[in-house]
Amino acid sequence: MNYNIAVIAGDGIGPEIVREARKVLDAAGAKYGFTLHYTDLLMGGASIDVHGIPLTDETIEAARKSDAVLMGSIGGDAKTSPWYQLPPEKRPEAGLLKIRKSLNLFANVRPAYLYEELKGACPLKDEIIGDGFDMVIMRELTGGLYFGERKTVEENGEKKAIDTLTYSEGEIRRIAKRAFDIARKRRKKVTSVDKANVLDSSRLWRSVVEEVAKDYEDVTLEHMLVDNCAMQLVRDPKQFDVILTENMFGDILSDEASMVTGSIGMLSSASLNETKFGLYEPSHGSAPDIAGKDLANPIATILSAAMMLRYSLDLDEAADAIEAAVKQVLKDGFRTGDIMSEGCTQVGTAKMGDLIAERIR
Ligand code: IPM
Ligand code: MG
């Protein structure tokens, strides 16, 4: 089988980690009999440098025509990069938000799993870690504060900035269904996270989620306030199976969940619409401070590539093989700097990609 993959390597460590993911994908293709045809697309700072804007319409169309999009990371150092002298809507991040919205990628799936081998990198105490934990954050990705009307006005000689948080019933319902569907294939528990003691959007969120839950009697639903959830994630992360939440809360909680698993360098993500199409990217950023130094951990991108095979291309066996190869490399004691611990062998970005690809062949 042949598939067309749009590749957005992006900025910072993006090109290095995507190169390793492609290496691993090609190894899986050779073994399981499929070929991926890659088309490189520009987004973020890389697109600003060429086109003056972070995402062109042509790029969106090329991505739309592909079977799936594999992405590295976008953005630079906000203090030193000239990209951040531009108005906000022309900065690298605006490209990412625009592609999410244009392709209707409303469901962002971020699994946070503690590998047995990485217990040493987890900052929590042993009695909290126990047998480890395994959760999925289902983050709404095309609504809420990120996409509400925003402006800065001047009133009585003083500047005032306004951001708006809006959710419609339909937007809540479709992401809630996704969360329940995933929970059904796991430990059958959804924790819906909101701020219903303060926000109207959260009160609507809660009532729609309850309505959706009626169609999933085999799945347990609980509601949790976001401040409590932030605390529970470090107090007792084992209690979570699927966390369902709106855009901004999901952004924050997924970073927290990643740290609890040892390193943000391990956290993959899939952004999906109503079809099989998706955009796959690590949950971490472009880490400009270590870009080009062969220091970045490519595993989050490699695991995102595995999600791409599973969700968009139905190549489950190959996806399993990639995930198993990652586990095996960790078992064999290889680590990038971010997850390094005593007695292990530290390797760079490219070597880590080689080691994982070898274990697939
Ligand atoms: C993420 C990132 C983005 C977000 C930024 C780069 C706009 O933090 O994917 O979590 O906030 O969604
Ligand atoms: Mg984030």
- How far is C-alpha 140 from the chain's CA centre? 12
241 is catalytic: no
Contact between residue 6 and residue 69 where contact means Cβ atoms under 8 Å apart: yes
Distance 285 CA to ligand 1 centre (A): 8
The residue written with tokens 């799993």 in the block is 113
In this prediction, residue 32 carries a pLDDT of: 98
Structure tokens given for 14: 């993006």
Query: What are the tens digits of pLDDT across the range 100-148?
Result: 999 999 999 999 999 988 988 889 999 999 988 999 999 999 999 999 9
251 is catalytic: yes
255 is catalytic: yes
91 is in an annotated binding site: no
150 is in an annotated binding site: no
In this prediction, residue 87 carries a pLDDT of: 95
Residue 96, ligand 1, Cβ within 6 A: yes
Task: Give, for 177, the enclosing helix (H) or strand (E).
Answer: helix 169-184
CB atoms within 10 A of CB 120: 13
Residue 251, ligand 1, Cβ within 6 A: yes
In this prediction, residue 3 carries a pLDDT of: 98
Q: Of residues 11, 194, 251, 338, which has the active-site annotation? A: 251
In this prediction, residue 146 carries a pLDDT of: 97
Contact between residue 272 and residue 105 where contact means Cβ atoms under 8 Å apart: yes
Residue 279, ligand 1, Cβ within 6 A: no
**Rounded CA separation 276/307 (Å):** 12
Ligand 1 atom 4 nearest Cα: 251
Distance 75 CA to ligand 1 centre (A): 10
151 is catalytic: no
Distance 289 CA to ligand 2 centre (A): 17
In this prediction, residue 109 carries a pLDDT of: 97
In this prediction, residue 91 carries a pLDDT of: 97
247 is in an annotated binding site: no
227 is catalytic: yes
Q: Of residues 195, 241, 311, 338, which has the active-site annotation? A: 195
Contact between residue 279 and residue 71 where contact means Cβ atoms under 8 Å apart: yes
Q: Which residues contact 58 (CB under 8 A, 6 or more apart)?
A: none
Q: State the pairing for strand pair 107-113/270-272.
A: antiparallel
Q: Of residues 40, 57, 227, 236, which has the active-site annotation? A: 227
Residues of the chain with pLDDT under 70: none
Residue 16, ligand 1, Cβ within 6 A: no
214 is in an annotated binding site: no
In this prediction, residue 108 carries a pLDDT of: 98
pTM (2 d.p.): 0.95
Query: What are the tens digits of pLDDT across the range 272-286?
Result: 999 999 999 999 999
**Rounded CA separation 147/93 (Å):** 13
Choose which residue among 96, 146, 253 to substitute to test ligand 1 binding: the one with the highest number of ligand atoms within 8 A of its C-beta: 96
Q: Give helix 299-311 / helix 14-32 axis angle, nearest 10°.
A: 50
CB atoms within 10 A of CB 302: 29
Distance 119 CA to ligand 1 centre (A): 26
Structure tokens given for 293: 């130094």
Ligand 1 atom 10 nearest Cα: 251
Distance 231 CA to ligand 2 centre (A): 18
